[in-house]
Amino acid sequence: MISPGSLVIYKNQLARVASLTDGRISLEFESGEAKKVREKDVTLLHGSASSHIPPLLEGGDFETAHAMLASGIQGRDPIPTSWKELAELVFGDYTPATAAACARFAAKGFLFGIREEGPYALSLEEIEHQRQKSEEKLLEGNRRSSFIAALRAAIKSKGATAIEPSPEFTRYLADLESFAQGTGERCAIAAEAGIAETRESVHQALLDSGIWKTSHNPWPARAHCVLWPSRLEFPDGELPFFASQRRDMRGMVSYAIDNAWSHDPDDAIAIDGDFVWVHIADPAAFIAPDSPLDLEALSRGATLYLPEKIVPMLPEGAIARLGLGLSPESPALSFGMRLSVDGSIVETLIVPSIVHVARLSYEEADTLLAAEDAALTALNAAATLRHRKRLSNGAVDIDFPEVSMKAEGDDLRFLSVPVTRSSEIVREMMLLAGEAAARWALERKIPFTFSSQEAPQLSKELSRSEEGSISLSAQYQRRKGMKASIVGTECLAHQGLGLSFYSQVTSPLRRYQDLLAHYQIRAWLATNNSLSSMGKAPVALAPLSEDEVSRRCLLGSQAAASTRQAERDSKLHWIAYFLLRNPGWKGKAIVLDRRDQDFWIIIPELGLETSLRARKTLLPDDTIAVRVTRASIALRDITLDLVSSADAGAAAD
């Protein structure tokens, strides 16, 4: 019977009943805390009225009491007893003081424990198990302390005192590295080592300790990008229903034109009579929607281009099998467009084909164009016509210096992307194919991946385009006024390109959005193409529904956005790496804009846009000399200063 003054157990804590009111018990704890609880939530320890909780009681033989209770009992099941029996075994008497002493001891969980119905003795097996756990915990603590000491020594010595490779330290290193690469919200080992629990701080600690080289790039992992090529096999043959007659276009002069260092050509251009042709790699003839290859491509969203490596969206076998110009002949999906005199599309043909493609760098193509190569000359005329057509529709021209970075081991090279006429021809042909595909799909009411963009917000003084040269600061203002493009199943104008209809379809080996468009085109052709030898296409090859295309657009866009973020962050990482290795580096910069007290500049040599704080007045398009004063790999933070007049000549050399 619980009454005022009784000693009770509440959630394994010793307490005294102060009062009872309307079925509620007021408890007093040893800490001085008071609480009201329900009667059913407490267990009676001793029923005698006590004016206070008894003080600590020394003595008592708990080990003998445990031995008596556990004698002859095997297994790991707990051995029940009562507070009265336990107090009498330990102290020889059951009083409030002895009962309280037993409760305090049992709450520690050594030899005895507490359950709702009362105390119990731990079995001998359970005691041995707890002993082993205690030893393991002590050993783990020692290992952890040793690692933290080694880490602190390595950081203090800037890596001169290396952390000994040890299986015992593997888990702690993995915790630090995974946190620095974006996994988990906490890193207890970092906090214990006195490192701030931020990814940047842990990254810096890994650099300072020598665990990571300065070239180590964690940004793609932080963006949750897949960093290894697909392990799936790309099929040698086409899907059975698509193994139909391809149009033989091998006699057509077709060029795949790209940077000299490009290794995944997925488009080529040609002209044949009245038709401009864009041949595009044809993976949709080999990959079925919802197949393992498709689902993996959807999860990646796009090929990941990093200075240190390229991680393809599709298995490497896809590029070897389908890359245009990598073999004497290539399967393709060819888009033929017949243009009117003003550059409008009069007719569009989309046909599976077999093509022979010659690969050219931009420089090689420009040389051929200068030599009046017939195909390139005709394509140049079509590109000029199309460019003027887009400009008349309000297109915005933006021409910014491009730099490609290549990292091989510790070596980093900056490759300026050349400005060539052939690159402009290729761009116009790709936009032409994108407009033609969008129009073609809309006319056939096929759910499709349309790209759109709202009108840019440009000042009245800033033109949208100019045939001649335009200052870099004006190009920057144009870019600054552009709206984000949107990909979805609704067909809206892409006003930045000056196109009423547009879809990206020319890179199905590298972008899931393009591959999805090819699925829809291929499915429509299969169900409407009289050339098929299999008659009516199976239902599985029908175009995907609008809801399904929307779902895939969203998932693919999210994955591609992570890829683009990783590429941007990696670019800054490698620039910081280069500047850290070249302290005091000097170079030329061009002022693009003023931002409060800072100036926004571009360093064309590095492809770097950043802010610069300067006391002197700078004007847009001023060419200035700058020097790096600080470069942080972990923070991707680069600080520059203006070079003094005395040093300006050296920077300009």
- pLDDT score at 466: 66
Say which CATH number the domain at 635 has: 2.40.50.140
Question: Which of 573, 598, 616 is the last residue before a domain boundary?
Answer: 573
* Token pair in block for residue 60: 């008592």
If asked whether residues 292 and 427 sit together in one domain, one would say yes
Per DSSP, 344 falls in state: -
Q: Which of 82, 1, 84, 11 is nearest to 42 (CA)?
A: 11
| 3-class DSSP state of 266 | coil
Strand pairing category for 345-361 and 247-258: parallel
Q: How far apart are CA 422 and CA 379, in angstroms?
A: 9
| Beta strands per DSSP E along 91-228 | 112-115, 118-121
Does some domain include residue 634? yes
Verify that 333 and 480 share a domain, yes or no.
yes
Note the pLDDT of residue 6: 96
**How far is 341 from 377, CA to CA, in rounded Å?**
17
> In the prediction, which pLDDT does 243 show?
60
Backbone angles phi, psi at 588, to 5 degrees: -95, 145
- The answer to whether residues 586 and 504 belong to one domain is no
**198 in the same domain as 180:** yes
CA distance 183 to 346: 53
Instruction: Identify the pLDDT of residue 469.
Output: 59
Instruction: Enter the DSSP assignment of 371.
Output: T
The span from the CA of 99 to the CA of 82, in Å, is: 10
pLDDT per residue as tens digits for the range 457-497: 888 777 776 655 588 999 999 999 999 999 999 999 999 99
Which residue is it, tokens 């005395």? 646
Q: Which of 44, 39, 35 is nearest to 7 (CA)?
A: 44
* Beta carbons of 176 and 212 less than 8 angstroms apart: no
Q: How many CA atoms lie within 13 A of 47 on its CB side?
A: 4
Taking Cα atoms as reference points, which of 266, 267, 317, 315 lies closest to residue 294? 315
Tell me the C-alpha distance between 334 and 345, whole Å. Answer: 16
Please tell me the distance from the alpha carbon of residue 211 to that of residue 177, in angstroms, as a whole number: 9
Count CB-CB contacts under 10 A for residue 589: 26
Token code pair at residue 63: 């080990």
Strands 586-595 and 304-305: unpaired
In a domain, 222, yes or no: no
What the block records as the tokens of 319 is 């590029």
Same domain, 135 and 167: yes
* Structure-block tokens of residue 399: 């021409």
Are residues 92 and 153 part of one domain? no
Do 624 and 589 form a contact (C-beta atoms < 8 A)? yes
Contact 510, 477 (CB under 8 A): no
Q: What is the DSSP track for 376-425?
A: HHHHHHHHHHHHHHHHHTT--------EEEEEETTEEEEEEPP--HHHHH
**Claim to verify: residue 418 and residue 362 sit in the same structural domain:** yes
Residue 146 sits in the same domain as residue 280:
no
Q: Are 520 and 448 in contact (CB under 8 A)?
A: yes
**Is residue 235 situated within a structural domain?**
no
**What are the Cα distances from residue 592, in Å, to 470, 473, 481, 530, 610?**
13, 4, 14, 57, 10
Cβ neighbors of 55 (< 8 A, separation 6 or more) are 97
Distance spanning both ends of the chain, measured CA to CA: 97
How many domains in the chain?
A: 4
Tell whether 67 and 190 lie within a shared domain: no
| Sheet with 24-29, edge to edge strand ranges | 34-38, 24-29, 13-21, 7-10, 43-46
Strand, helix or coil for residue 453: strand
Report CA 169 to chain centroid distance, whole Å: 28
Q: What is the mean pLDDT of each run of 10 residues along the chain (653 residues)?
A: 92 94 91 93 94 93 93 85 96 96 93 92 89 89 92 91 83 94 91 94 95 94 94 91 81 94 91 96 95 97 96 94 94 97 96 96 96 96 96 91 90 90 97 98 97 90 68 91 93 95 96 97 84 49 92 96 96 95 94 91 95 91 95 92 66 46
Does a structural domain hold residue 224? no
Please tell me the predicted confidence (pLDDT) of residue 540. 56
Q: Is the dihedral of CA 195, 196, 199, 204 positive or negative?
A: negative
Q: How many residues does the chain have?
A: 653
pLDDT at res. 497: 96
Evaluate whether 51 touches 5 at the Cβ level (below 8 Å): yes
Tell me, yes or no, whether 276 lies in a domain: yes
Tell me, yes or no, whether 145 and 206 share the same domain: yes
- Does residue 229 lie within any of the structural domains? no
Domain of residue 614: give its range: 582-652
Last residue of a domain, one of 573, 598, 615: 573
Does residue 86 belong to any structural domain of this protein? yes
Specify the residue for token string 């080990």.
63
The upper half-sphere exposure of residue 450, i.e. CA atoms within 13 Å in the direction of its Cβ, equals 23
Same structural domain for residues 365 and 247?
Answer: yes
Report strand pairing: 267-272 vs 13-21: unpaired
Tell me the C-alpha distance between 37 and 29, whole Å.
Answer: 12
Determine the Cα–Cα distance for residues 185 and 647; give it in Å rounded to an integer: 47
Q: How much is the pLDDT for 644?
A: 72
User: Which conformational region is residue 38 in: left (phi greater than 0), alpha (psi within -120 to 50 degrees), or beta?
Assistant: beta
pTM for the predicted model, two decimal places: 0.81
Q: 508, 359, 348: which is closest to 442 by C-alpha?
A: 348
* Residue 487 placed within a domain: yes
Residues 366 and 440 in one domain: yes
